[in-house]
Chains A and B, each alone.
Chain A
Amino acid sequence: MALSCRECGERFGLGPIFACALCFGPLEVAYDLPAGGPRQAADLRKRIEDGPANIWRYAPLLPVPADVADKPNLNPGLTKLVKAGNLARELGVTGGLYVKDDSGNPTHSFKDRVVAIAVEAARAFGFTTLSCSSTGNLAGAVGAAAARAGFKSCVFIPHDLEAGKVVMAAVYGGDLVGIEGTYDDVNRFCSELIGDPLGEGWGFVNVNLRPYYGEGSKTLAYEICEQLGWRLPDQIVVPIASGSQLTKIDKGLKELVALGLVEDRPYKIFGAQAEGCSPVSRAFKDGHDVVRPVKPDTIAKSLAIGNPADGPYVLDIARRTGGAVEDVTDEQIVDAIRLLARTEGIFAETAGGVTVGVTRKLIESGLLDPSLTTVVLNTGDGLKTLDAVAAGPTATIRPSLEAFRAAGLAAG
């Protein structure tokens, strides 16, 4: 195992480094995957299926020690893949529509996956404090994981986040610092802190531990394929903030093919953004291969990264696989949150409204084929973004049958 630059291919030993010393490109974990003969594939599938009911069933495919499941951590993953028949009928999908509902993780977002891997890296490198720049979900995931694993924590967020996310980030006992600025300002601040003695001994899960952190998103790809019966989905719709999740899902799917765990067949990856922060969607539509940063303005705050570091890779992957990148307005996001709640009983945070809304838009525009198996990601819980959806009682009445009859809601 080594670190490899995604831009220029230069290799580095494992360590708390994240940018290539030659070209600044992002480093990622490179594995020497075993050959995927049918026998080895069958053995590995069985080993995974017999493993723990969380991401550690995939430990052989992750940069973690073999005894990782015995260490104190949040054990995220193996969240539900919901067959969304009602939503499929509503959207006209005939090839099978699934929602990968990652709100079922310990801190109610997919971030528990990436943090779990970063925690193991932090242990390996001897860090004592966990930190991150966050749009909210990550801050909560780091706080909780630090508490369980016995680290101190100090996390940084934009000062104007949703109350639900602030409380989630603060409750675990670590330090929470609001920064007067956008997420991009927070991110820049953390990048400077890391090169300063002030940040000595700190593991920033999404900065100096980012190569390991990113690997956690691969487990979404592994789980989706396993839950589909060791089969690649035809189409998958992924939200884009920094673009890391989409990039690593593609990496995970390719690894499963290389290992022979799934049959090699074409799949399309679609990226979803909010119109108020859509630099990758813009670049995709304009035919560019680099992303021009924007100043975010959207209710989908967990996706509000105006300068997405992995944007160029998202563009490469969407184009390579025949997918697309699309965006929806705040109003369409709220509509989609309600649609998913009404049809499947899943209350998504705004990022889930973005993926469902974009799925609907892509079907209408013909870019997404409704006759193919499609998986839509919901990466977080609606309880964290309550203010986005104005929902309330149908009626408020006195506790009497007459009052209920008068409200016109009774049967018949």
Chain B
Amino acid sequence: MSVTVRIPTILRTYTGGKAEVPAQGSTLSEVIADLEANHTGIAGRVLDDSGKLRRFVNVYVNDDDVRFEQGLQTPTPDGSAVSVIPAVAGG
């Protein structure tokens, strides 16, 4: 499965400044592993030491917050758009 991943500014040092990169995988977990294979170090920024999503990272697959879906096991169908975004407060 081929997907595109939107990269937040603070992770673009790992993607040579690119805001969007392609990745492979049928679940979010596989997509992150594929990102790591091509952009060494990026997984450690998104996942904590126990391999869970860090609590201040929001990840969306096609506009759906993966915390509403199946977390790292959320399916990423062919052509999906994955967004990685820092959690921000608001009002």
Contact = CB atoms under 8 A, between A and B. Distances in A.
Interface in B56-70: 56-58, 60, 65, 67-68
B87 A206 contact: no
Contacts of A82: none
A231 to B, nearest CB: 28
A309 B85 contact: no
Interface residues of B, number: 26
A244 to B, nearest CB: 4
A158 to B, nearest CB: 11
Interface string A42-83: 000000000000000000000000000000000000000000
A242 interface: yes
Contact of B55 (A22, A111, A137, A312): A312
A25 B56 contact: yes
Taking each of A17, A309, A310, which has the highest tally of chain B beta carbons within 10 Å of its own beta carbon? Answer: A309
Given A24-B54, A195-B9, A188 B91 contact: no
Interface in A1-40: 7, 17-26
Contacts of B10: 17, 19-21, 24
Contacts of A24: 10, 45-46, 54, 56-57, 86-87
Interface string A335-363: 00000000000000000000000000000
A182 to B, nearest CB: 11
A214 interface: yes
A196 interface: yes
B90 interface: yes
Interface string B30-70: 00000000000000011010000011111010000101100
Contact of A242 (B6, B60, B86, B90): B90
A307 interface: yes
A191 B88 contact: yes
Contacts of A293: 65, 67-68
Contacts of A187: 88, 90
B91 A309 contact: no
Contacts of A194: 9
Given A22-B45, A192-B83, A244 B91 contact: yes
Interface string A115-141: 000000000000000001111011000
A23 B45 contact: yes
Interface in B3-47: 6, 8-10, 13, 19, 45-46
B60 A188 contact: yes
A337 B60 CA distance: 37
A214 B89 contact: yes
A309 B68 contact: no
A18 B54 contact: no
Interface residues of A: mostly helix, strand, loop or mixed? loop
A235 interface: no
A243 B55 CA distance: 15
A135 B90 contact: yes
Given A195-B9, A292-B67, A293-B65, A111 B56 contact: no
Interface string A283-301: 0000000101100000000
A310 B89 contact: yes
Interface in A140-197: 183-184, 187-188, 190-192, 194-196
A93 B87 CA distance: 38
A384 interface: no
A26 B87 CA distance: 8
B90 A133 contact: yes
Contacts of A245: 91
Interface of A: 7, 17-26, 111, 114, 132-135, 137-138, 183-184, 187-188, 190-192, 194-196, 206-207, 210, 214, 241-245, 290, 292-293, 302, 305, 307-310, 312
18 contacts: A18-B88, A19-B10, A19-B86, A20-B10, A22-B45, A23-B45, A25-B54, A133-B90, A134-B90, A183-B90, A191-B86, A192-B85, A195-B9, A206-B88, A241-B91, A243-B89, A309-B56, A309-B89
In order of increasing CB-CB distance, the 10 nearest A-B pairs are: A242-B89, A19-B86, A244-B89, A24-B56, A309-B87, A309-B89, A138-B91, A195-B9, A191-B85, A24-B57
Given A19-B8, A23-B48, 12 more contacts: A19-B56, A21-B13, A134-B90, A188-B83, A188-B85, A195-B6, A241-B91, A244-B89, A244-B91, A245-B91, A309-B90, A312-B55
